[in-house]
Homo-oligomer: A and B are copies of this chain.
Amino acid sequence: MLKNELTSKRSTIRDVAKAAGMSIASVSRALKDPSTVRPDTRAKVLTAANELGFQVNRLAVDFRTGRTHTLMVLVPNIANPFYSEFFKGIEEAARLANYLVLIADTASDAFREADYFSMLTSGKCDGLIAHIGRFPENVLELFAGESAGRFPIVSCNRDAGVEIPTVGIDNYGAGRQAALHLLALGHRRFGQIVGPMEYEECKAKHAGFVDTLLEAGISHAEECQAPGDLTIASGRAAARKLFGLHTPPSALFIHSDEMALGAIQELRSCGINVPSDVSVVSFDDVNFASAVAPALTTIRVPRREWGAAACRLLLAHMEGKEAPEARTLTADLVVRESTAAPS
Contacts and interface: CB of A to CB of B under 8 A. Distances in A.
A102 interface: yes
B146 A5 contact: yes
Interface in A138-190: 145-147, 149-152
Contact of A149 (B3, B78, B265): B3
B3 A318 contact: yes
B261 A6 contact: no
B317 A288 contact: no
A180 to B, nearest CB: 28
A122 B292 contact: no
Contacts of A121: 55
A146 B6 contact: yes
B232 A287 contact: yes
Interface string A243-275: 000000000000000100110010010000000
A154 to B, nearest CB: 13
Contacts of A79: 81, 84-85, 88, 287
A119 B87 CA distance: 19
Classify chain A: how many residues form its interface, as a range. Answer: 35 or more
B292 A261 contact: yes
A269 to B, nearest CB: 10
Nearest to A56: B122
Contact of A320 (B1, B59, B115, B147): B1
A216 interface: no
Contact of A291 (B68, B72, B261): B261
Interface in A32-80: 53, 55-60, 62-63, 66, 68, 70, 72, 77-80
A312 interface: no
Given A104-B103, A262-B291, A292-B292, A87 B91 contact: no
Given A150-B6, A287-B79, A103 B103 contact: yes
A100 B103 CA distance: 11
